[in-house]
């Protein structure tokens, strides 16, 4: 056993453990055949080396698959953007900001002015409410007919 341990650069205890695991075959009590012991240990090391390589190959293949899927998704997004089916989030936020500003300006500036000029001669609250409702409806209808690209400057 001492000779096998020195040859394999292991402790005698480790040689015993490997023998108990069936890696190094015993021939008699505490006796080992050098050739079988070396071959058993080499086979053991080969399986230990090959398993992580197989795992790393799987991990590499999985990484390649993820990369290919990501590249395909990016290509699909680029194609959708070119078709106009996909817009940039920053551009959309900017466009919505312009639209909201336009609505706000129209409702706060233009609608009250038009209501005031039409309601000058009215005395009844119901008539003034009807005028306000008409003006708000007109403002919203005009807004719905407006091309958003005209507001944002996108073509």
DSSP 63-124: HHHHHHHHHHHHHHHHHHHHHTS---HHHHHHHHHHHHHHHHHIIIIIHHHHHHHHHTT---
- How far CA 114 is from CA of 123, 128, 139, in Å, comes to 17, 12, 10
The whole-number pLDDT of residue 11 equals 92
pLDDT tens digits in sequence order for the chain, 155 residues long: 788 888 889 998 998 899 889 898 887 776 888 888 888 888 888 887 765 555 667 788 888 889 999 999 999 988 988 888 888 888 888 888 888 888 888 888 888 988 999 999 888 999 999 999 999 898 888 888 877 666 555 54
Nearest to 136 by CA among 111, 100, 104: 111
CB under 8 Å to 33, separation ≥6 — which residues? 25, 27
- How far CA 37 is from CA of 12, 31, 117, 127, in Å, comes to 13, 10, 107, 107
The whole-number pLDDT of residue 51 equals 57
CB under 8 Å to 41, separation ≥6 — which residues? 8, 18, 23, 24
User: d(Cα 68, Cα 76) in Å, to the nearest integer?
Assistant: 12
pLDDT in tens, 50-59: 655 556 677 8
84: left (phi over 0), alpha (psi -120 to 50) or beta: left
Phi and psi (nearest 5°) for 120?
-55, -45
Q: Which of the 8 DSSP states describes residue 54?
A: H
The whole-number pLDDT of residue 155 equals 47
Q: Where do the structural domains in the chain lie, given as residue ranges?
A: 2-59, 87-152
């Amino acid at each position: 056993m001492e000779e096998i341990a020195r040859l394999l650069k292991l402790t005698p205890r480790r040689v015993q453990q490997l023998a108990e695991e069936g890696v190094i075959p015993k021939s008699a009590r505490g006796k080992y055949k050098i050739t079988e012991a070396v071959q058993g240990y080499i086979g053991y090391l080969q399986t230990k080396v090959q398993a992580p390589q197989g795992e790393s190959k799987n991990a590499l293949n999985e990484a390649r698959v993820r990369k290919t899927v990501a590249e395909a998704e990016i290509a699909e997004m680029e194609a959708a953007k070119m078709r106009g089916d996909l817009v940039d989030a920053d551009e959309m936020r900017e466009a919505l900001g312009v639209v909201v500003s336009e609505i706000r300006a129209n409702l706060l500036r233009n609608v009250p002015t038009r209501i005031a000029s039409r309601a000058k001669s009215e005395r009844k609250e119901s008539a003034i409410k009807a005028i306000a409702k008409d003006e708000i409806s007109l403002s919203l209808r005009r807004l719905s007919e407006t091309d958003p690209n005209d507001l944002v400057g996108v073509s």
